[in-house]
Chain A
Amino acid sequence: INPDIASERQTASFSVEKLMAWLDGSAEHTRIRRAVVEAIECDPVFSRENQYFQSQNERYEEAVKKAVHLQKKMQEMGWTENGPEYKYIYRALAGDVAFLLHRVFMRSISMLGSDKQVAKWIPLATQYQLIGSYAQTELGHGTYLQGLETTAVFDITTQEFILNTPKISAMKWWPGDMGRSATHTVAFAQLYIHGKCYGVHPFIVQIRSLQDHSLCPGITAGDIGPKMSFEHADNGFLMLQNVRIPRENMLSKFCEVQPDGTYVRWGSQKINYFTMTSVRISLISDEVITPVMKACTIAIRYSVVRRQSKLKPGEQEAKILDYQTQQEKLLPQLAAAYAFHLISNYLQELFDRGYREIQRKNFDMLPELHAFSSGFKAIITQYCTSAVEICLRACGGHGYSLLSGLPSLYTKILASCIYEGENTILLLQTARFLIKCFMAASAGQPVPPSVTYLAAVKPGK
């Protein structure tokens, strides 16, 4: 051990193990998490040793190999998707694994599908008898769902929906696993019945043959090419030309098209946002807070090893972490990592509560949940992306080498400001909720607990 870093550990004012247990939730959680890490890291298939030296194709191939191997590993270890180990697997794999959108595919069916649809599709997906993707964003349209141009027209004679991406701007673009892997996708499209538009709805569409993986008739799909990061993921494009799917393939937990073409809805249109709300909250901890914790770990450990010029003449060169300016760069980022770890727990609890209410068909919490998840996804990804950049720059030239790990962390976390809703748009969705609450509070009406402080403001006009 380098004595410069060893000495830092002798003067700790607290027990690292106890703090770890507090972060994990308990010593038992720490034990489980470590066991998962141990099992994964001693398996050579999951090694990331050569990651910085591989091409995009090699990264994709490795990611698929790991994802397939992970299924065997989970069976071997007795890990299940509902077990305590599951949330640690992804952290241990550092996100370098394929089929992430397959998880979102399953989540959207679980949340928006009827019991019958869940019973049909989820076992197939769980056993990887199909690979799913989640196609919402289009070449010309992103977070604004109502602007999507993909269409699904109900054909009452054949009891089918006919899906099209009528213009190039309607082409689905970005969905992960779409480019080279997925056999099915949940695709969001504007529903038309008898010429009337009923807004955006999710449909399950088969895109590749289960026999030879060739594209199905009317489907054009492929990889969108090189990106700033996510080399391991086959982000793809999808064009639909008169693709017919059975009526039963429209996810219908909260709404349905009946055989005679009648449209029935129970619950708010906003329920389509629910998958995204859930994804936003879950990605905060895996995709954003873990990377910023890593960046802080790398930069702070390096800053007690790196010595550069002198604080006191005649003495040894000082550790760069002894300089106030270096402390001022790094320590606020460390504080933020802890702050956002805690708010992530808070958001998860809020979400779980909201989800229980929604399952009871009580949608009252939906607006607050949507506003909260949007706003926090935006502020946390923005703050953390800046934090990782500060950590990289605080490590000087070595921080710029891929071998530091920081450029990969940075290029990957930057995407989180954009995907699952571009941050500015999300902040404005939160602002819309705040303004509504402020108006309501000014009129003496009740508002959700998180915004009661607005009631204390005496409106100027």
Chain B
Amino acid sequence: CPAKNKLDFLSPDIYMEAYRHTAARLVSSTAAKLQDLTQSGVKKHDAWNQCTVQLARAAKAHCHYITVKNFAEAVVKIETQAGIQKIMKHLCDLFALHGIFSNAGIFLHDGYISGTQMDMVTASYLDLLPVIRKDAVPLVDAFDFTDKSLNSALGSYDGQVYQRLYEWAQKSPTNTQMSPAYERYLKPLLHK
């Protein structure tokens, strides 16, 4: 991986190539294992079954790669306000670096990304968090869910969380309908 410093890992070309390399490696190594097994006389369906965990992982790596690639390409095409392209670039970087950070093993496996480079990934990844944090609320506001659609005491637009939790709890049938438990069990217990 040609990255020399942590900023290099904010380049889509760099992280896309890492994803592409890893996906290709997982597919080819699993294919090689399949071939080994069949050439050593194992029946095809048995060989397949012995590779399914790696096959599933290769498929995930492929889809993850395509998702990162598609995100990066979509960001380049953004023609609306410059601020949007910038924040989307941050999000794309975060998504990609989070994928490398939380699946470090498969990227380190053949040394394509070195330990030192993984430190750079971690640094860039964590640097992005406070940057995006500033725009976190506007980024979710853009999803444009009404309070009724969210139907959540915690997520309302006006942020009146505690009032709403209390209000809704009072509407609960556990508060509005008398429970026979008192007459049947509690009262006799308390007046024993």
Q: Please tell me if the beta carbons of A435 and B63 are within 8 angstroms of each other in the complex.
A: no
Q: Please tell me if the beta carbons of B70 and A338 are within 8 angstroms of each other in the complex.
A: no
**0 or 1 for each of A1-16: is its CB under 8 Å from B? (1 = yes):** 1101110110111111
Q: B189 in the interface, Cβ–Cβ < 8 Å?
A: no
Q: Please tell me if the beta carbons of B71 and A339 are within 8 angstroms of each other in the complex.
A: yes
Q: A242 in the interface, Cβ–Cβ < 8 Å?
A: no
Q: A342 in the interface, Cβ–Cβ < 8 Å?
A: yes
Residues on A with C-beta less than 8 A from B120 are none
CB A291 to nearest CB in B, in angstroms, measures: 11
- A303 and B129 CA atoms in complex are apart in Å by 14
Q: Please tell me if the beta carbons of A375 and B31 are within 8 angstroms of each other in the complex.
A: no
Q: A431 in the interface, Cβ–Cβ < 8 Å?
A: yes
Q: For chain A residues 240-294, which have a beta carbon within 8 Å of chain B? A: 293-294
Segment among A63-71, A142-150, A182-190, A398-406 that sits at the interface with chain B: A398-406
- A457 and B29 CA atoms in complex are apart in Å by 10
Q: B140 in the interface, Cβ–Cβ < 8 Å?
A: yes
Residue of A nearest to B35 (CB): A461
CB B55 to nearest CB in A, in angstroms, measures: 4
CB B14 to nearest CB in A, in angstroms, measures: 16
- A19 and B183 CA atoms in complex are apart in Å by 58
Q: B1 in the interface, Cβ–Cβ < 8 Å?
A: no
CB A339 to nearest CB in B, in angstroms, measures: 5
Residues on B with C-beta less than 8 A from A431 are 30, 52, 55-56, 58-59
Q: Please tell me if the beta carbons of B138 and A16 are within 8 angstroms of each other in the complex.
A: yes
Q: How many A-B residue pairs have CB under 8 A?
A: 283
Residues on B with C-beta less than 8 A from A340 are 67
Known A-B contacts A302-B155, A434-B27; the reply to A335 vs B141 at CB < 8 A is: no
CB A317 to nearest CB in B, in angstroms, measures: 14
Q: Please tell me if the beta carbons of B159 and A338 are within 8 angstroms of each other in the complex.
A: no
Q: Please tell me if the beta carbons of A53 and B140 are within 8 angstroms of each other in the complex.
A: no
Report whether over half of chain B's contact residues are helix, strand or loop; otherwise say mixed.
helix
Known A-B contacts A92-B149, A332-B94, A461-B32; the reply to A338 vs B67 at CB < 8 A is: no
Q: For chain B residues 147-190, which have a beta carbon within 8 Å of chain A? A: 148-161, 164-165, 168-169, 171-173
Known A-B contacts A302-B161, A435-B34; the reply to A331 vs B154 at CB < 8 A is: no
CB A352 to nearest CB in B, in angstroms, measures: 16
**0 or 1 for each of B130-153: is its CB under 8 Å from A? (1 = yes):** 101111111111111110111111
Q: Please tell me if the beta carbons of B30 and A321 are within 8 angstroms of each other in the complex.
A: no
Residues on B with C-beta less than 8 A from A322 are 133
- A451 and B63 CA atoms in complex are apart in Å by 11
Q: A427 in the interface, Cβ–Cβ < 8 Å?
A: yes
Residues on A with C-beta less than 8 A from B56 are 424, 427-428, 431
Q: Please tell me if the beta carbons of A460 and B28 are within 8 angstroms of each other in the complex.
A: yes
Q: Please tell me if the beta carbons of A342 and B152 are within 8 angstroms of each other in the complex.
A: no
Q: A74 in the interface, Cβ–Cβ < 8 Å?
A: no
Q: A296 in the interface, Cβ–Cβ < 8 Å?
A: yes
Residue of A nearest to B58 (CB): A431
Q: Please tell me if the beta carbons of A331 and B150 are within 8 angstroms of each other in the complex.
A: no
Q: For chain A residues 10-43, which have a beta carbon within 8 Å of chain B? A: 11-16, 18-23, 30, 33-34, 37, 41
Q: Please tell me if the beta carbons of A435 and B31 are within 8 angstroms of each other in the complex.
A: yes
Residues on A with C-beta less than 8 A from B142 are 16, 19-20, 23
Q: Please tell me if the beta carbons of A22 and B80 are within 8 angstroms of each other in the complex.
A: yes
Residues on A with C-beta less than 8 A from B67 are 339-340, 343, 376, 379
- A94 and B165 CA atoms in complex are apart in Å by 21
- A378 and B56 CA atoms in complex are apart in Å by 10
**0 or 1 for each of B56-70: is its CB under 8 Å from A? (1 = yes):** 101110111111101
Known A-B contacts A15-B84, A30-B144; the reply to A379 vs B60 at CB < 8 A is: yes
CB A33 to nearest CB in B, in angstroms, measures: 8
Q: A300 in the interface, Cβ–Cβ < 8 Å?
A: yes
Q: A459 in the interface, Cβ–Cβ < 8 Å?
A: yes
Q: A204 in the interface, Cβ–Cβ < 8 Å?
A: no
Q: A395 in the interface, Cβ–Cβ < 8 Å?
A: yes
Known A-B contacts A334-B136, A339-B71, A346-B70; the reply to A294 vs B158 at CB < 8 A is: no
Known A-B contacts A403-B169, A405-B152; the reply to A296 vs B98 at CB < 8 A is: no
Residue of A nearest to B130 (CB): A327
Q: A130 in the interface, Cβ–Cβ < 8 Å?
A: no
Segment among B3-11, B85-93, B111-119 that sits at the interface with chain A: B85-93
Q: A304 in the interface, Cβ–Cβ < 8 Å?
A: yes
- A338 and B67 CA atoms in complex are apart in Å by 11
- A246 and B40 CA atoms in complex are apart in Å by 52
Known A-B contacts A41-B146, A48-B151; the reply to A379 vs B95 at CB < 8 A is: no
Known A-B contacts A2-B159, A430-B59; the reply to A8 vs B151 at CB < 8 A is: no
- A37 and B86 CA atoms in complex are apart in Å by 30
Q: A153 in the interface, Cβ–Cβ < 8 Å?
A: no
Q: For chain A residues 70-105, which have a beta carbon within 8 Å of chain B? A: 91-92, 94
Residue of A nearest to B66 (CB): A450
Give the most central of A30, A379, A406: most B CB within 10 Å.
A379
Q: Please tell me if the beta carbons of B62 and A334 are within 8 angstroms of each other in the complex.
A: no
Q: Please tell me if the beta carbons of A403 and B168 are within 8 angstroms of each other in the complex.
A: yes
Q: Which of A12, A51, A342, A460 contacts B151 (CB 8 A)?
A: A51
Q: Please tell me if the beta carbons of B24 and A457 are within 8 angstroms of each other in the complex.
A: yes
> What are the 7 A-B residue pairs with the smallest beta carbon separation, nearest first?
A298-B155, A405-B152, A2-B159, A14-B83, A5-B159, A431-B55, A8-B137
B interface, CB within 8 angstroms of A = 20, 23-25, 27-32, 34-36, 52, 55-56, 58-60, 62-68, 70-71, 74, 78, 80-81, 83-84, 86-88, 91-92, 94-95, 98, 126, 128-130, 132-146, 148-161, 164-165, 168-169, 171-173
10 residue pairs A–B, Cβ–Cβ below 8 Å: A13-B86, A13-B135, A47-B148, A321-B133, A334-B136, A338-B91, A378-B59, A403-B168, A435-B31, A457-B25
